[in-house]
Amino acid sequence: MEVIIVSAAQDVGIAAAGIISRLVAGKPGAVLGLATGASVERVYAELALDFSQITTFNLDEYVGLGNSHPASFHAFMEKHLFGRVNIDRRRTHFPPTEGDDLAGACEKFEREIRAAGGIDLQILGIGRDGHLGFNEPTSSLASRTRIKTLTSATREANRSRFGGGEVPLHVVTMGIGTILEARHCLLVADGAAKADAVARMVEGPLTAMVPASALQMHARATVIVDEAAAAKLAMRDYYREVQRNKPGWQR
């Protein structure tokens, strides 16, 4: 796992956008896995790419919300990315949240990822309890796209997006096993509130109680955090030293 520590939250977005831009420059038809949340807003704000050939798969969506609901992740993506770039909406995909056979629809979503050639780069955030996507603590580390019940803590953390109103109890999310199949995982986090989760993810034991710790098993996982989010990393001085002393071919 590569850990990159930058000065401020805005720098997290700039650094992550640089990685995405380099991928798309070399592969204009890249397949991107997309996340939502405050940390990734800053990433999307920095992107100025040709999206015409890019295919996207979003991590998750609330069950029971219409696509136009302001708190839906469809609406988030439209506001923060899709509405300002030249993306072909036919190439955008979200986990299914409606229908009588949701399990079958989730399997179809998995097949669509494979049919697209798999995800080249999966953008991720992390919850304060270490959840990844909406894979809450105790989620199977081999899980696939499926319906999940949110914890009270996660619902409370997302309440502001619902104007203080009721947050849906259920979501559909890519599973940990699905996420780990991406060729490159890029996780961003900023702020002191994420420091404990970041430390447990990077340096703690591999455990279903911290689903994001599964990234320790990924062959190419990059974590970009600001100083506040890095505050509880025991090895943070070493991570800075690694970045300063990378050989030229790795930069």
Structure confidence at residue 157 (pLDDT): 86
Catalytic pick from 11, 60, 110, 120? 60
Structure confidence at residue 150 (pLDDT): 92
How many angstroms separate the Cα of 134 from the Cα of each of 24, 157, 199, 233? 27, 12, 19, 24
Structure confidence at residue 163 (pLDDT): 85
Catalytic pick from 136, 181, 190, 226? 136
Structure confidence at residue 66 (pLDDT): 86
Catalytic pick from 61, 129, 181, 190? 129
Examine the pLDDT at 166 and tell me if it is beyond 90.
no
Residues 98-107, mean pLDDT to the nearest whole number = 93
Examine the pLDDT at 215 and tell me if it is beyond 90.
yes
Q: Which residue in this structure is represented by tokens 């019940």?
A: 149
Topology, domain 2-244: Rossmann fold (3.40.50)
Examine the pLDDT at 251 and tell me if it is beyond 80.
no
* Phi-psi group of 191: left, alpha or beta (phi > 0 → left; psi -120 to 50 → alpha; rest → beta): left
- Residue 171's DSSP bridge partners are 62, 148
Average pLDDT of the chain, as a whole number:
95
Domain boundaries, given as residue ranges, for the chain: 2-244
Annotated catalytic residue 136: yes
198 band by pLDDT with thresholds 50, 70 and 90: very high
pLDDT exceeding 90 applies to what percent of the chain? Answer: 88
Catalytic pick from 61, 74, 80, 131? 131
Residues 158-184, mean pLDDT to the nearest whole number = 93
Structure confidence at residue 164 (pLDDT): 78
Examine the pLDDT at 206 and tell me if it is beyond 90.
yes
Examine the pLDDT at 99 and tell me if it is beyond 90.
no
Structure confidence at residue 224 (pLDDT): 98
